[in-house]
Amino acid sequence: MLVSIPDVLTADEVATLRQLIDQADWVDGNQTSGAQAAQAKRNEQLPGDSDIARRAGNFVLDRLQQHPTFISAALPLKVYPPLFNRYASGQAFGNHVDNAIRPLPGSDQRIRTDLSATLFLTSPEDYDGGELIIDDTYGSHSVKLPAGHMVLYPSSSLHRVMPVTRGTRVGSFFWTQSMVRDDGQRTLLYELDSTIQSLYGSNPESPEIVRLTGIYHNLIRRWADA
């Protein structure tokens, strides 16, 4: 399931975040790459252990925890601390699949990467190229969203970032371990929750909404890891 999530950050919040991270020292983006991805990756990244990266990551996490679409689509159990990258001057990231397991910084815990996310922090008109291309069973999907919007997709997907030919593409990226491991089950739960919310908006007193809500939560009980 590929989900575009609008307005994770407002325009003012994007500006605040950019003001914070643009002043930082950026390094080669292969800091978080596996051996195979390192051959295809050409970008810059904020060091994940820097104070600015931690502050910026916490800023994004605070907003994510308040966003109902992210909660509904991801059903998050663990979220990897958001990282930040930028592409310019022909930089790109070739075809790759994200690592299945990542150690959580500063702990002995690990996260299973069920879902990958890219939060766009540059307006599309400010750069050329830089599209995120995600392949699935229905073909290739080109994603280039407004600043403050985010795309969420299965980490098992083959994906790439096209070369940036003008300007600079800045974004945040991270992974989520969902309470529901299976993408097909998550998709059904997301569609069911979306339907319940739509019905509630038009007929909040309907007894069918209570029944559907019960089905939704009982499916989570059946499928969730935690």
**154 shares a domain with 57:** yes
- Domain count across the chain: 2
**77 shares a domain with 121:** yes
Residue 203, domain CATH: 4.10.860.20
pLDDT band at 38 (very low <50, low <70, confident <90, very high): low
pLDDT at 32 over 90: no
Mean pLDDT of all residues belonging to the chain: 95
Range of the domain at 132: 3-178
**145 shares a domain with 58:** yes
Name the more confident of 33 and 97: 97
**pLDDT per residue over 40-78, tens digit each?**
889 999 999 999 999 999 999 999 999 999 999 999 999
- Give the chain as a DSSP string: --EEE--SS-HHHHHHHHHHHHTSPPEEGGGG--HHHHTTEE-EE--TTSHHHHHHHHHHHHHHTT-HHHHHHH-EEEEPPPEEEEEETT-EEEEE---SEEEPTTSS-EEE--EEEEEE-S-GGG-EE--EEEEETTEEEEE-PPTT-EEEEETTSEEEEPPEEESEEEEEEEEEEESS--HHHHHHHHHHHHHHHHHHHH-TT-HHHHHHHHHHHHHHHHH---
Average pLDDT for 20-44: 81
**pLDDT per residue over 188-200, tens digit each?**
999 999 999 999 9
**171 shares a domain with 64:** yes
Name the more confident of 30 and 69: 69
**82 shares a domain with 55:** yes
